[in-house]
Every structure is written in structure tokens, then in C-alpha cells.
Amino acid sequence: MEAREKAVRFPANAVYDFAERTLLSAGAEESSAKLTARGLWFASVRGVDSHGVRLLPHYVKALQGGRVNANPSFTFEQTSPSTGRLDADHGFGHAAGIRAMHYAIDLAREAGSGHVVVFNSSHCGTMAYFAFEACREDMIGTAYTHATPKMRTPNATTKFFGTNPICLAAPMASEAPFCYDGSTTQLSANKIRVYGERGLELPPLCGADEEGRETRVPAEVVQLLPIGDYKGFGLAMIVDILCGLLSGMPVGDDISDMFNDPLSRKRLLGQFYSALRIDVFEDPERFKIRLQDLAERVRRQPRRDPNTPVQVPGDPEKVCQADREANGIPVGTKELAQLESVVKELGIEPLQVVD
Amino acid sequence: MEAREKAVRFPANAVYDFAERTLLSAGAEESSAKLTARGLWFASVRGVDSHGVRLLPHYVKALQGGRVNANPSFTFEQTSPSTGRLDADHGFGHAAGIRAMHYAIDLAREAGSGHVVVFNSSHCGTMAYFAFEACREDMIGTAYTHATPKMRTPNATTKFFGTNPICLAAPMASEAPFCYDGSTTQLSANKIRVYGERGLELPPLCGADEEGRETRVPAEVVQLLPIGDYKGFGLAMIVDILCGLLSGMPVGDDISDMFNDPLSRKRLLGQFYSALRIDVFEDPERFKIRLQDLAERVRRQPRRDPNTPVQVPGDPEKVCQADREANGIPVGTKELAQLESVVKELGIEPLQVVD
């Protein structure tokens, strides 16, 4: 669900270039700037705007404030044939994540599977960005991160875990990879904000107020509710076990707050990445053909609402990507003003609009 | 939520022995009988009655009908340092699953992680049974199975995936392992039946009728709704990718039906088991202490309902297990009659009630 505020469209590759130039101008070393810019582009072009180019001003401030290390030394230690640990040295989570997934892929080449935990990390955007890397190698990729505490615990009055997403991507025969990438809360804070901007009531079981009472008024929401009540809570705890406990980072409500903590404070996040070779279980071509067929069987199921397609995970992002690669990435007025002030401050070339 | 029908209690170890004797009498070879009986006991003692001793008469019929091979040859093939495939030869899924998890653990000892896909398998009960095995070795265990098609696809009128559960268990410092073991539907068919028996209306977003319309009347439910709508659907598809596509077994609504298919028909199910060594990422003692602390922090959160505890995944099962080990496993009148007819048919000693 997109905000209906006025937006102008910019060519997708121009957004990528702009993000890279901005991060370089703000002091990020080349590889960090490139991988983070690609992550922002990847989210924006697929319609995951909460993790897209609108975060660029925040990232610039995080560099300037010292939260994010502009010139990190990533250190990888292989700990067994299939596992390793990556110290992100407080650099961008995007850059650390791509490195980690590439190490996981390298481990999987030899060992069948590879698993890399990242520590001393920061916000890393959309998890699909990392999982997709494995699919290029005919592997299944999984990616997890813990996050700012926002999810209300079942029967508690307080938030504890973050939106802790789960992501798995797998290659298909004749289209971009299958990809599930979803938080363990029903809605994101960003989507709740959009309901508010449109003057809409929230669906049931999405948000709770300061005292932990469910509310359907977007402006009252300060806690998010997990999918399936205790089930989503359990899944969020699994993600924290992988990302927080295996990495040695803080867990639960000890995790730092992305927007409310000082920009000098390190995030101290952890992420967990895996690559699993398909050919050690099944012929990859047969796997991809059968996954393609499975997706098409889902899409062909009879519709309840004849005007709404039956979709598999990743379909809305594929539709959006086709549109945005052709017609540009929309940037809302508010985000545009923030980007323009960054342009002015750093003295760089602004984004050029689509003709 | 338990049925309120009249129940008698049997000592937990007597239930285990009885299940083993029954399966042996029905022709199952020793290891299959032992591992399946332990799986039924494990589910019953932890309160997961849908997967407990009440399934014993069904399993006897599955042996007699030829669906389940009483004397399978499990064949394991290691396919890389961290992966392997287990042909279950249509034996009990419980027996195949424990073997598979033990192979995964062995692989992990050398390679850091181990992943075993099972094919030609059958129903395997509660996934926690397998994941727990890894915790004894200071590893994290995960277990997945696909299942009888029951979940309605978002915006479709029809069911497609099963309840496809996700399970992860991890060792704790001073209590039994943390364990999340949950289907990707809001409620199981069994729990919906219990609502019906109590004359209660269902909570929202749990079930749908023949045409895919949501209903809150338990008797009308023929399709189950996923947790978080498209999110639970996506998670169920992930489980089918791991269990069905990697194993080469049927997927989606091609999967056989546990109760409605002829008992001569092989299930052709797949399962996916992983073991992940903790010590390749973090000191296991520190991990277990921190997980213990994390669970206790969750439990100490302020309660909305002061009479209901705030719990972490697995807490209800731990409470139930303490009660049932002390006071016996309750078996309802209907299930008891079914067990008694099995006793008569096989000519074995019946279950002895708690004094």
C-alpha cells in the first residue's frame, strides 16, 4: 500500500547513481557506498519503499553522527567447513550482508551449505537483497535480521522484539527468483503511517497503544502485533536467537532504536545468512521447473475477487519492478525535500526527473 | 485448548510401552515401533494431543493397509560435507525423522551444520520431537514437514498447501530446550473441532467454508486460514520448497490426504531436518545462559491479564509435561474406545489406568 501523496518519478538507474554519489560524498568508502546504494535501489525498484531511497538522508546522518563507520574493516573468520563469522566493524549492514552472503555461497560450494553470522552490524534494509545473491548460483538463500523493539508480546503490555523478518529466495525456471521476505508483524510501522495519512481505520490485530491495548486508530499505534499472535512472536524470537544470540549482540528490548537513539550510538545488530546448494538434494533444473510449475498452479487457483490476482510471494514486487524500471521510481514530496536538503548540504548533482 | 469430554489418565510411561507393544503386534519392526511410540508419547506428554497416542489406531490401520512399510530399509546418502538424503522406504515418518536428524547431527559435528532431506516418507507427528535431538548435542535443531492440503490460498476459493509447520529448538541453561513448533495456519483442524464440541464460535480469520468464504461456525470449516494472511501462506510455501521440491516428492495440492485417502496409498511425503552447531558461532555456555535470560525477561514483562502468564514458545508444553508426567496422560472416551478395539483386534494387554 503506497502513500497517495504527490510523487515525482526518477529513472531507476539514476536513483542508484544518486544514492552512490551521495554516500561517497558523505565519506563512505567505495564498496560500502556501492553495495548500500544498490540495496536502496533494490528496495525502491521493487516497491519496498520503507527500505528504499527514502532512507538515504538517514544514512547520511548516521555516517555524519558516527553511528555507521564510513571505512570499516570487515573481518571474516571461517569456523568450520560450512560456517563463519563476519565482524562488520559498524559499517553499513548492506555491505556487510552482501559480503556475508558471498562467504556463505563460497562455503556452500565446498560444504553443500554455508552459514554466516554478522556482528557489530547496522541496519541492512530489505533481506531479499541478500537472499537473491544465492539464487544466481542455483542455491537457496535465507536471510534474517533482528530490529528495533516494536512488537508487543502476547499478553504483555509492552513491546519486546522487533519486526524480525524471515526471508527465503529460490531460483525459478523462467522468471526472477521466488522470494518470501516478510516481517513477523502483521503490518510495518510505515504501512500504519500510510493508513493514518489516508484517514483509514486499521484492520484488526495490527497495532496496540502505549498500554498494549489493541487500537485501530493509526495515530495511537506505538506497538505492532505479531502475525498469528503467539506464533509470530515465536518466529520473531527464533530470528533473535539466530541474529542476536549466535552473533553475541544485544537481544530483545536491549536492541538499539533506529530512529530514536542518538546518531552517534552504534546499532550493534546481528544478521544471519545461509546458502544451500540445490544440487546436493535434487537436480537444479528439475527443481526450478517444479517451482515454476508450483507457482503457476497457485496463480491459476479460482479467485474470490475476480479483479485481484492470486499471487505467490514476490509477485507484487515483480509487478512493481517491471513498472518502475520502465517508468521510474516515485519519490514523494516529503522525501524529495529531504533528499534536496542532502544535495544542498553535500553539494552534489541532484536527481534528474524522468522526461 | 483441550476437549472437555470425560477422560481417564494413564501413566506416561505406560502409554509409551502400550504404543510400542501395539505397533510391534501390528507388525512394525523394532526400531520403527520404538521411535514411533516415543514420538506419540512425546506429543501426548507435552499436550499436543492431535499428534499423540490418539493417532495409534490410525497408524495400525496404515500398517495393515500397506500405506506404511512395517519393515523399511532406510538408505542414507551423504551428498556433500554438510548434506544428505534419506530414503524412508515408506516407513514411519517418526523413525525416518529421528534417523535423519541423527545424520544431520553427525554431519554437523564435522562440517558445522548438517541438513538432511527425507523422501518416500509418511506422517511424522510433532516436529519438536526431532528438533530436540540436536539440543542434546548443544546444537540448534530445525524440522519441517509438508502436509495434507488444508490451507486456503489468499484470494483463492480453494485450499492448496498444508498446515506446513516450522520448528526450531535451542538449548537453555537451566530448563528444557526453547522450542517453537507451530503450523502456518492460525488453528489446526483438531482445535477447530474442539471449538465445535464446546459450541463456541471461532475467533476471526481461522477457517473458511467450501467456497473459501471465511466462517466462524466450526462445523462449516473445510479450509484453514494462514497466520497473517499472505505471510503464513508464504511461510507454508517455503516449507513445501524445502520438504517437497528438495525431496522430489509431490507438492501443494498434489500431496496425499492423511485421513481421506485409501490406507493402501503411500503418503510420498518429504521432510527437512537441520542441525547447527552453536560453538561455531558463540560459546555454547554463554548462548544457553543468554537464551535463559532472554526467556526470563519475556516472562517478566507486565501482564495485560494478570491471571495469564507471559510465555515464550514451549512454555505451555513444559507446564503440561510436568503435570502429565506426575498425573498421567488423559485419554478421552472416544479415543479410549478406539484404543480398546485395537487391543481386542491385536490381542495385546490393555493400558492400565493411574491408581
Half-sphere exposure of A251 (CA within 13 A, CB side): 24
Percent of chain B exceeding pLDDT 70 equals 98
* Cell numbers representing residue A84 in the block: 563463519
**Which residue, among B49, B67, B59, has the nearest Cα to B24 in the 3D structure?**
B59
Under the banding of pLDDT at 50, 70 and 90, the label for residue B191 is confident
Interface check for A166 against chain B (CB to CB < 8 A): the answer is yes
CA distance A36 to chain B (A): 26
Q: Tell me if B16 sits within 8 A of B329, measured CB to CB.
A: no
By DSSP bridging, strand B83-87 and strand B113-121 are parallel
Name B275's bridge partners. B114, B141
The 10s digit of each residue's pLDDT in B275-321 is 999 999 999 999 999 999 999 999 999 999 999 999 999 999 999 99
Place of cell 560435507: B81
Q: What is the pTM of this model?
A: 0.97
The 10s digit of each residue's pLDDT in B16-64 is 999 999 999 999 999 999 999 999 999 999 999 999 999 999 999 999 9
Residue B150 DSSP SS3: coil
**CB neighbourhood size of A157 (10 A):** 18
Per-residue model confidence (pLDDT) at position A4: 55
A chain contacts of residue B205, beta-carbon cutoff 8 Å: 205
B chain contacts of residue A115, beta-carbon cutoff 8 Å: 112-113, 276
Per-residue model confidence (pLDDT) at position B113: 99
Residues of chain A with pLDDT below 50 are 1, 3
Contact B310 A155 (CB under 8 A): yes
Interface check for B307 against chain A (CB to CB < 8 A): the answer is no
Report, at the CATH architecture level, how domain A72-183+226-300 is classified.
Answer: 2-Layer Sandwich (3.30)
pLDDT reading at B1 higher than 60: no
B chain contacts of residue A182, beta-carbon cutoff 8 Å: 228, 231, 234-235
CA B234 – CA B242 distance, rounded (Å): 13
Q: Which of residues 78-97 of A touch B (CB under 8 A)?
A: 79-83, 85
- Topology given in CATH for the domain delimited by A8-65+326-355: Hypothetical Oxidoreductase Yiak; Chain: A, domain 1 (1.10.1530)
Q: Tell me if B216 sits within 8 A of B202, measured CB to CB.
A: yes
- DSSP H/E element including A20: helix A12-25
The CA–CA distances, whole Å, from A197 to A112, A202, A219, A224 equal 48, 12, 9, 18
Q: Cα dihedral sign for B60, B66, B67, B73?
A: positive
Phi/psi of residue A212, each to 5°?
Answer: 85, 10
Q: Rounded mean pLDDT of chain B?
A: 96
The 10s digit of each residue's pLDDT in B247-285 is 999 999 999 999 999 999 999 999 999 999 999 999 999
Q: Which of residues 264-293 of A touch B (CB under 8 A)?
A: 276-278, 280-282, 286-287, 290-291
Q: What is the mean pLDDT of residues B228-256?
A: 98
* Segments making up each domain of chain B, as ranges: 1-65+327-355, 72-185+226-284
- Nearest 10 degrees: Cα torsion A226, A228, A229, A234: -70
Q: Tell me if B157 sits within 8 A of A302, measured CB to CB.
A: yes
**Multiple choice CATH, B72-185+226-284, 3.40.1440.10, 2.60.40.10, 3.30.1370.60, 3.40.50.300:** 3.30.1370.60
Residue B352 DSSP SS3: coil
Interchain CB contacts (distance < 8 Å): A and B? 227
pLDDT reading at B121 higher than 90: yes
Among B157, B230, B251, select the one facing A304 at the smallest CB separation: B157
Q: What letter represents residue B322's amino acid?
A: A
Q: What letter represents residue A182's amino acid?
A: G
* Cell numbers representing residue A5 in the block: 501523496
**Which residue, among A185, A159, A121, A182, has the nearest Cα to A254 in the 3D structure?**
A159
Q: Tell me if A127 sits within 8 A of A145, measured CB to CB.
A: yes
Per-residue model confidence (pLDDT) at position A191: 87
CA distance B139 to chain A (A): 11
Residue A229 DSSP SS3: coil
Contact A235 B204 (CB under 8 A): no
**Which residue, among B205, B209, B204, B119, has the nearest Cα to B159 in the 3D structure?**
B209
- Nearest 10 degrees: Cα torsion A130, B227, B162, B254: -60
Per-residue model confidence (pLDDT) at position B249: 98
- CATH number for the segment(s) B1-65+327-355: 1.10.1530.10
* Cell numbers representing residue A153 in the block: 508480546
CA A44 – CA A289 distance, rounded (Å): 29
* Cell numbers representing residue B332 in the block: 478421552
CA B303 – CA A143 distance, rounded (Å): 32
Burial of A326 (0-12, 13-18, 19+ CB in 10 A): exposed
Among B115, B155, B297, select the one facing A276 at the smallest CB separation: B115
CATH homologous superfamily for the domain A186-225: Hypothetical oxidoreductase yiak; domain 3 (3.30.60.50)
**CB neighbourhood size of B264 (10 A):** 10
The CA–CA distances, whole Å, from A166 to A48, A245, B214 equal 15, 16, 27
Q: What is the mean pLDDT of residues B171-189?
A: 96
Q: Rounded mean pLDDT of chain A?
A: 96
B chain contacts of residue A286, beta-carbon cutoff 8 Å: 248
Contact A110 B81 (CB under 8 A): yes
B chain contacts of residue A110, beta-carbon cutoff 8 Å: 81
CA A124 – CA A147 distance, rounded (Å): 10
Among A80, A251, A282, select the one facing B280 at the smallest CB separation: A80
**Which residue, among A44, A226, A346, has the nearest Cα to B298 in the 3D structure?**
A226
CA B103 – CA A74 distance, rounded (Å): 34
